[in-house]
Amino acid sequence: MRYATDHKQQTREKLLSSSGALAKRGGFAATGVAGLMKAIGLTGGAFYNHFPSKDDLFSEIVRRELANSPLARLVERGTDRARLKRLLDQYLSLAHLHNAEGGCPLPPLGVEIARAERPVREQAEHWLLELHQAWSETLDDPDLAWALLSQCVGALVVGRMLASEPVQAQVLDASRKLVEQVFDEVR
């Protein structure tokens, strides 16, 4: 049986999408090649037709997930403070907290990125520096940009660690209040 000319690319795309979701849901390191391929209905051996190694797949997942992150919308130059605040309010929501698979990759993948090979960390650093630069321009304060970024990502990490939604909501509410205070002072 012959496959369509774009079959390999379609399979690669399915593998990337599925693996990104699996990584953000349960951790990338914890899922073997066989499990990644089983999720798209193929055998483990077919994996190497698409990526030389599992590390190469992770690198591509990180690149793709960061580029599609909710925070990526805030890399645009010229974002005004009102828009940044609105997007941070959305970021610090229960809906986002409960959507690890479709949300920002930093909270669920941050530790794995930190443990990854240097090229993956460099890729993440490059993206974070772009985000930082955009926020620095919007806020007119590079230190505040790092602090807000860390606060928002950290709030999601802590919120996801908690078992009860009311306590998760308290963490997110406290973080939104802090962001609100910062924006009131920055005016």
For residue 181, what pLDDT is reported?
Answer: 93
For residue 78, what pLDDT is reported?
Answer: 59
CATH number of 69-186: 1.10.357.10
Query: 148 and 91 in contact (C-beta within 8 Å)?
Result: no
* pTM: predicted TM-score of the whole model, two decimal places: 0.84
Query: 57 and 15 in contact (C-beta within 8 Å)?
Result: yes
Distance (Å, rounded) from C-alpha 7 to C-alpha 137? Answer: 44
Distance (Å, rounded) from C-alpha 98 to C-alpha 95? Answer: 5
For residue 1, what pLDDT is reported?
Answer: 56
Options 1.10.8, 1.20.1070, 3.30.450, 1.10.10; CATH of 7-64? 1.10.10
What is the location of CATH 1.10.10 in the chain?
Answer: 7-64
For residue 107, what pLDDT is reported?
Answer: 93
Amino acid at 32: G
Q: Kindly give the parts of the chain with pLDDT less than 70.
A: 1-5, 73-78, 187
What is the location of CATH 1.10.357.10 in the chain?
Answer: 69-186
For residue 119, what pLDDT is reported?
Answer: 92
For residue 170, what pLDDT is reported?
Answer: 98
Burial 65-82 (b: 16+ CB within 10 A, else e): bbeebbbbebbeeebeee
Amino acid at 90: Q
For residue 121, what pLDDT is reported?
Answer: 94
Amino acid at 118: R
The string of DSSP codes covering the chain is: -PPPTTHHHHHHHHHHHHHHHHHHHH-STTS-HHHHHHTTT--GGGGGGT-SSHHHHHHHHHHHHHHTSGGGGG-STT--HHHHHHHHHHHTSHHHHT-TTTS-SHHHHHHHHHHS-HHHHHHHHHHHHHHHHHHHHHHT-HHHHHHHHHHHHHHHHHHHH-S-HHHHHHHHHHHHHHHHHHHHHH-
